[in-house]
Structures are given as C-alpha cells and as structure tokens.
Amino acid sequence: MSVRVVARIRPLLEKELDKDVIVRADSTEDGKPLTMVKIPSPKNESEEFSFAFNSVYDQSTTQEELFSAEVAPHMKALFQGLDVTIFAYGVTGTGKTHTMRGGLKLADRGVIPRLLSNVFRRAKKVAKDSNGATTVDVALAYYEIYNDKVFDLLEPLEKRTPSGLPLREKDGKTIVVGLSERSCEDLKDFERLYIEANNNRVTAATKLNAHSSRSHAILRVKVTQTTGDMVRESTASAIDLAGSEDNRRTDNDKTRLVESAAINKSLFVLSQCIDAISRGDKRIPYRESKMTRILSLGQNNGITIMILNLAPMRSYHLDTLSSLNVSSRAKRIEVREIENEVVFKQPPRSNSGLGGTNMQRQPLRPLANAHNVHTGAVLAAKASEKAASDKPIKAFSVYTDKASKPVAPRATVLPTANSSQSLKRSNSNKRPADSLEPIPTSRPSKLARPTHQTLVPRPSAPAPSQISISADQLEALVEKKVAEILASRTASAPAAPAPQEQTVPVQSQISEEVKRRLEALERRIDNDERDDARSDGLRCLLQARQAKERGDDEGALRFYELALPFFPGQAKLLGKIDRLRAKLAGKRVADSSNNISSEFFDEQQPEQRKQRTRARAIAKTCRYEQEEEDEYHEGGEADVDDESFIDKPAARARHATTKKQKGLKVRADTEMDGLPTPKTAQLLSIVNSRDISLIRRLNGFGAKKAQDLIDHLNLEGDEEAGRLESLAQLRKLPGMGSRTVERAYEGLAADAL
C-alpha cells in the first residue's frame, strides 16, 4: 500500500483577512469528495495547476473531521499489531502544529490528543471485552530533532548534552540511544506529560509565525497488549515537522538562521528521499539527516499518513507549489503493511547454570526477525529498576524503556505473526537451563530471544559481548545488503558481448568495495559526535557540488544557501548563489508546469512514464557508479582521504599509529615539506592552476575530488589570495590529508622516472 497523502488548507488568520486567496480544494467531478488542490501558475494567472491527493481538506475542516476521516480508521489496525505513522509536512506557518497538537479547547485538540484519547478508549474496551484477560499498557517517548541533534523532551532541559542523543540502527529500525519512555495510565496522565514536554520543545517567534517550531517533534505511543503469556506491541508515531522557510522573508537573526539552515537541510533531504524512492533509485539518501533516518519513509512496515499543510495566501505561492510537488510524489511511495510479531513471555529461568545466587540474568543478545524485541525488557523494567539505574549507559530503542509497570521479565518471539490467539507455548518449548552457556556479565537481560533459536542446542563457543554482537550484526547486515544489491544488478544486467564479460567481475568487486566504503563512511559520519558548525558547512558545500554535477541547480542553490550561515560574507559563495538564483529565476516556474503535465501524462501514458523513470534511474545509477569509481577506483586510501575531511586530526592520529603509515608520514614530511623541490613546485602549480583537467590527472584524483578541491580553493580566495605555498597547506584542505597529497606527489615522481 502507498503512503497516504492528504492536503489540508488552513483558513485565513485574523490578520490575514485582507489577503488574496489563491489555493482551493476541488473534486474531479461534481458531488465527488475533494481530492484536488488547485493553484494558479505564478507565470500566467489564467492557467491553473491541479495536484491530486488521496483526500483534500478545505479551510472549513474541523480538527474532529480530519481526525475521524484520516486517523480514527487506523486505530483498529494499531491494536491488531500494525505500526501507524502520521506526519505533518509544509511551509512554516501553514498549520502543522495546529493539526498535530492543536489548541487547548476540546474542539481545537489536534491529532495527537485525539489519538491518545482513542487509544485509551479502545484499551478499556479490549480489557472489558476480554473480561480482564487482556491488559493494555500505553507508554510514551517524545523527542525533538533540533539542529540535527536529538533531544529527549521527557527529560528536563538541564539533562541535555550539547551533542544530543545518538542514533543506532537495530533490526532494520533506527533507534535513539538513551531515550526515556513513560508509562501513561489515562488521558490526564498523558496531558500532564505532553504539556510539560512541549515546554521543553524549541519554538520561537519568526516573522512568518509567532510560535514557530524550530525542531521536528516525534511522539511515539507504544501500545502493549498482554494476554496470559502473549504480548503484542505496536507503535503510533505522530510527527510534527518544522516548516521550511525562505529566509528572505523571515528576517531571521543568526541563531534563527542556523536553525533554519538545519530545518531546510533536513526537509530538502526528505524531498530528495521522496524523489529518489519515487524514481526507483537504489540509493536513498536517508542518512544525510537525522530526521530522514528516523522517519525512514517507505522503509517502515505499517501505515503511513502524510498531512500536507497549506496556507491559502498568495504570499506563499512558490513555497506552496514546491511543497505540493514534493508531496504529490510521496504518494508513489509503497509501504508494507506487516503486523508486528507476537511475543511470548518466558517464565524466569533458573540461574543455576550460571553459578552463584548473585549472578545476573543473560546479557543482551541479537534477535533476528523481531520488530518488538524489547518487549520483555520494557515490561521487566520496573522489576529491574535498581539494577538498571546502576548502568552508566542505556541503549533504549524508541520502542523500549523505563516503563513503570511490573511484568514478567523475559519474552520469547515466535516467528508466526498472525496466529497469536491460537498459539500457546508448551513446556517442551522452554529452553532448558543447562543449555545456557556461562556468560560472565553483570548486565541485566533486556532482550527477548526467538523461540526457534532456543529450540536448537547452542554450540559451546563463548558468547560474544553485546557490543561485538551488535557490531557484527551491523557488519553482516551491510554485507548482506551489498550482496543483495550486487546479485540484483548482476541478474538484471543485459548479456554483455564476449570481450566485455571479462570486466564484469572486476566492476562488481569495485562496486562492492565502493558500497562498503560508502556505508562505512556514512556510519563514521553519523557516529562522529563532533558535528561542529564548520564541518556542517563543508558538508553543505559538498552536497551543493554534487547537486551541481547532477545538473540539479535548485539543489545546488539550496545547499549553497545552507552553507552561507557557516561562511558568512564569503564573496565566492555569494557569487555562486547569485548566479544560480539568476539562472533559476525563470526555470522554477517552468519546472512546476512540467511537473503538472507529467502528473497528467502519468495517468495517460503509464508505459512511457515507466520507460522515462527507468531511463532516469539507469542514467542516475550509471552516474553514481562513475562518480564512485572516479573517487574510489584507486583503492585502499580513499577512506583515509574521506576521514581526513570529516575529522582530520583524529584521522591523522589514527593512521599515524601503524608502522607503515608512520613511515609514510615521516617520508612525506622530510621529502615533501622542506624547500620546495621541483616536484613539490610542480604539484603546487597544478593545484594552484585550478584547472580540473590538470588536477584530474594527478594520482588519486577523480572528477569529484578535483572539483571539490577547486571549490575549496575558490572559497579560500581568488587565484592570487588563495594560492597554496606548501604541501602542508594543501593537506589541510578538506578532503585532502597526508595520504592523498603523498599519492599525488608520488604519481608525479613516478611519471618523471
């Protein structure tokens, strides 16, 4: 099933009553429900663009109507074990927070309080219908992504660390490490928590919205239904995204500008993800922002509803067109409606096999094919509260945490997802205590183990620690993903003529290597806690460069603009932005009309559209592969170069530890950094020429690396002011590093021989 995308047009506010309304809801035929948003062309008022959605809600729509039509119908599915995600998207001031949170009056309450009210009502009904045999527990996690950092909204502000909470991937889901979770008894309990938590959320007045959300807020409502030893867990996520904003209209100060840059960047990445998914690209840039990692659009199982919020006034014209374009593409995203697996609680096991009465329970273990792996831990959390409080670091998923309800300590997952009522765990399925290998640990158990694993006698190899298991699992997942991609590429590749066949395995190896490096690099970027402003700025520049190479001028402009707050007043950067703006001024309108016609074209010519999409996807894949090969073909040192860009001192320190690398560095310093040798002078003169064809000829430089180098030189100043005088200066540039410079130097030396 596709992501359900609905649009909501907000009414005019009191201060806007004299404003010109240009956005309206319409239906395809008289008497049919509203499914179209119509808006005039900014170029030609007599021309009107139409965007089709699953449903459209006009200015008169009440909070109750929206909830009843879009959210209430999915509450049953939530209690059947499906995860439900609802997120509000749109420009600043269009009503996202109003839709999700709403006002304090009963009629003004938004999706979130209504959702909770519905959940508690259903929970009571489930308990009543089962004569008390089934109990339902509701727990909340609530956090915000502010300046691309994750903060727990249920914890007081004093507890925040500057770097925020880290993210990890686990069992195909992105989890927030250290996130708290609160048990919630009833609506009053929820309101108390929610109002308190919202006071922690960053909002501020901007010119476009007196209470503008400066962060993306994510509320997770976990519903746990327990019947005897069966546990079913599902999660409703309600996400209020911060709104994109055009800083020419906001009059934002420096702090607001930095926030705005982070908001716009993450929303831009979201739009890129939507585009990539709808084009069928293999690589979706989820990892380029924390918000897209967490949202994982199209990756999560369950039901996803996107609410596009729109303001009807002319002053939002281009922004409205842009968000209509993005959201209408989101309709094409497919999500799998798969229920979460049922979990069976396991009675407390004897620890006799572990020896000693003080021995703690088993350590964390990986749980294959389970979505709700933390259930046992959550339900056991209160019982083990004291032990847990002794631990310095907790790795809770957003589905997991400090629930306060005492429940059985362990749970076991059955691989059958849909047979919850008929399955009961027999005694023969219990894992005998003597099959446990002794694991010296003081960590209390937090994860369940799948039944099918427990039935098989375990080898007596020593159990790895929790951390090494996670790392191995991660590695294995990456390997598996790469293998699958390669297998599908090989399978779908057309038969090559005989002479080229020999090159296929080599290319596959290169791609595999490239993929692995890319994944490793992304992981390293994500794990790097020191996301300082400068490296964010440099990343924006690199993204801009990449967008430009792809011919995506709009993307390049957005990223250059995002980079501006990090390099204020940079003449070169401002020049680039001005040139791109001028180029795009007329093109933007033309693009919009192309998109509309392609919407209609899609319906009329599905085959041609598919062919176009395929051709685009193939062209893009080829481009990616070419770029990757350009960058990585030279082999083992590419990651050194990249690492030096992310964190040069740390990377150098790491690489300087091996004997071989130590030798290389010493040689580089003595041979290359003294008085400029002819080779040094030659290398510097090639670099200073800023001529891409010359720089590309250097050993280890592909098109992208060469262009990045030129961009960085341009940022340093013009050819005179930004001239490099030594290799040490070259090494300090982002993306360079000792190894790169040495290879380029050695390449020149080899040429001379």
Ligand X SMILES: Nc1ncnc2c1ncn2[C@@H]1O[C@H](COP(=O)(O)OP(=O)(O)OP(=O)(O)O)[C@@H](O)[C@H]1O
Round to whole Å and give the CA distance between 26 and 530: 49
* Contact call for residue 94 and ligand X (CB under 6 A): yes
SS3 state of residue 460: coil
Only one residue has tokens 């009522």, namely: 421
Closest approach, Cβ 695 to ligand X, in A, equals: 43
Provide the greatest CA pair distance for the chain: 89
The three-class DSSP label of residue 109 is: strand
Buried b (16+ CB within 10 A) or exposed e, 303-341: bbbbbbbbbbbeebbebbbbbbbbbbbbbbbebeeebbb
Which positions from 150 to 189 touch ligand X by CB under 6 A, shown as an x/- string? ----------------------------------------
Asked if 95 interacts with ligand X (CB under 6 A), we say yes
Binders of ligand X in range 183-212 (CB under 6 A): 209, 211-212
Q: Is 489 exposed, middle or buried (0-12, 13-18, 19+ CB in 10 A)?
A: middle
Segment 207 to 236, residues that bind ligand X, using CB under 6 A: 209, 211-213
Q: Least distance in Å: CB of 88 to ligand X?
A: 7
DSSP letters for 648-695: HHHHHHHHTTSHHHHHHHHHIIIIISSSPPHHHHHHHHHHHHT-HHHH
Counting residues that bind ligand X (by CB under 6 A) gives 18
Q: What is the DSSP string of 356-404?
A: STT---------TT-S-TTHHHHHHTTTTHHHHHT-S-----TT-----
Find tokens 């990343």 and name the residue. Answer: 539
Give the separation between CA 245 and CA 265, rounded to whole angstroms.
Answer: 11
Closer residue to ligand X in complex, CB, 309/680: 309
Question: Does residue 503 have a known ligand-binding role?
Answer: no
Known binding residue 674? Answer is no
Q: Least distance (Å) from ligand X to the CB of residue 429? A: 50
**Helix, strand, coil proportions of the chain in percent (round to 5)?**
50, 15, 35
Beta carbons of 519 and 286 less than 8 angstroms apart: no
CB of residue 162 to ligand X, shortest distance in Å: 24
- Of 97 and 680, CB closest to ligand X: 97
Residue 311 Cβ, how far from ligand X at the closest point, in Å? Answer: 8
By CB under 6 A, name the one of 98, 220, 232, 345 that touches ligand X.
Answer: 98
Nearer to ligand X, 205 or 615 (CB): 205
Place of tokens 């050695």: 746
Q: How far is the CB of 247 from ligand X (least distance, A)?
A: 13
19 annotated as belonging to a binding site for a ligand: no
How, if at all, do strands 212-213 and 203-204 pair?
A: antiparallel
Residue number, 212 or 412, with CB nearest to ligand X? 212
Considering only the stretches 8-16, 141-149, 472-480, 590-598, report the one whose residues sit in contact with ligand X under the rule CB under 6 A. Answer: 8-16
Nearer to ligand X, 203 or 453 (CB): 203
320 is in an annotated binding site: no
Q: How far is CA 199 from CA 118, 633, 749, in A?
A: 24, 51, 63
Q: Closest approach of Cβ 708 to ligand X, in Å?
A: 33
| C-alpha dist (Å) from residue 280 to 171, 249, 296 | 23, 35, 15
Minimum CB–partner distance for residue 214 and ligand X (Å) = 8
Structural element, H or E, at residue 144: strand 134-146
114 lies in the binding site for ligand X (CB under 6 A): no
Nearer to ligand X, 8 or 287 (CB): 8
Does position 93 bind ligand X by CB under 6 A? yes
Is-contact 96 88, C-beta < 8 A? yes
Q: Considering the rule CB under 6 A, would residue 81 count as an interface residue with ligand X?
A: no
Query: What's the Cα-to-Cα distance from 610 to each of 53, 597, 606, 615, 722, rounded to whole Å?
Result: 20, 15, 6, 8, 48
Binding string to ligand X for residues 426 to 465, with x set by CB under 6 A, is what?
Answer: ----------------------------------------
Q: Which stretch binds ligand X (CB under 6 A): 85-93, 218-226, 402-410, 543-551?
A: 85-93
Instruction: Give the shortest CB-167-to-ligand X separation in angstroms.
Output: 23
Does residue number 299 form part of the binding site for ligand X (CB under 6 A)? no
Using rule CB under 6 A, residue 97 touches ligand X: yes
Please, are residues 213 and 140 in contact by the beta-carbon 8 Å criterion? no
Q: Would you count residue 420 as binding ligand X (CB under 6 A)?
A: no
Q: Does 320 bind ligand X (CB under 6 A)?
A: no
Q: How far apart are CA 686 and CA 727, in angstroms?
A: 12
| Token pair for 677 | 């040798």
Question: What is the DSSP-derived secondary structure letter of residue 210?
Answer: T
Q: Strands 84-90 and 230-240, how do they pair?
A: parallel
- Yes or no: say if 314 and 345 are a contact pair by the CB < 8 Å rule: no
Among 90, 298, 302, 376, the residue binding ligand X under the rule CB under 6 A is 90
Least gap, CB of 115 to ligand X (angstroms): 17
Restricting to residues 652-681, which ones interact with ligand X according to CB under 6 A?
none
Q: Residue 92 interacts with ligand X (CB under 6 A)?
A: yes
Smallest distance from ligand X to CB 210, Å: 7
Q: For residue 24, give both structure tokens.
A: 């309206």
Q: How far is the CB of 488 from ligand X (least distance, A)?
A: 39
Cβ-based nearer residue to ligand X, 92 or 304: 92
Could you tell me which of 183, 178, 270 has the C-alpha nearest to residue 222? 183
- Give dist(CA 135, CA 125) in Å, integer: 10
- State yes or no: 85 annotated in a binding site: no
> Is 134 annotated to bind ligand?
no
| 96 contributes a contact to ligand X by CB under 6 A | yes
Matching residue, tokens 């040069």: 648
Cβ closer to ligand X: 289 or 372? Answer: 289
Residue closer to ligand X, measured from CB, 104 or 483:
104
CB of residue 26 to ligand X, shortest distance in Å? 19
40 is a site residue for ligand X (CB under 6 A): no
Least distance from C-beta 213 to ligand X, angstroms? 3
The Cα–Cα gap between 288 and 124 comes to: 42
Contacts of 629 (CB under 8 A, 6+ apart): 510, 514, 702
333 to 352: interface string for ligand X, x by CB under 6 A: --------------------
230 forms bridges with which residues in the sheet?
227, 344
d(CA 313, CA 18): 10
Among the listed residues 153, 167, 242, 273, the single contact to ligand X using CB under 6 A: 242
Measured from the CB atom, the residue of 16 and 549 that comes closer to ligand X is 16
Specify the 3-state DSSP secondary structure of 300.
coil
For the CA atoms of the chain, what is the radius of gyration? 28
Q: Binding to ligand X by residue 252, rule CB under 6 A?
A: no
| Given 200, 264, 309, 570, the residue binding ligand X (CB under 6 A) | 309
Q: Label the pairing between strands 84-90 and 303-310.
A: parallel
Q: Which is nearer to ligand X, 59 or 508 (CB)?
A: 59
Q: Which is nearer to ligand X, 96 or 446 (CB)?
A: 96
**Which CB sits closer to ligand X, 292 or 309?**
309
User: Does residue 13 touch ligand X according to CB under 6 A?
Assistant: yes
Tell me the closest approach of the beta carbon of residue 566 to ligand X, in angstroms.
23
Q: Please, which residue, 97 or 328, has the CB nearer to ligand X? A: 97
Nearest CB to ligand X, comparing residues 11 and 722: 11
Residue 10 binds ligand X (CB under 6 A): yes
For residue 355, say whether it is annotated as part of any ligand binding site. Answer: no
90 annotated among ligand-binding-site residues: yes
| Distance, first Cα to last Cα, the chain | 63
Beta-bridge mates of residue 9:
310
Binding residue numbers for ATP = 90-97
Q: Which residues are annotated as a binding site?
A: 90-97
**Which parts of this chain interact with ligand X (CB under 6 A)?**
10-11, 13, 90, 92-98, 209, 211-213, 242-243, 309
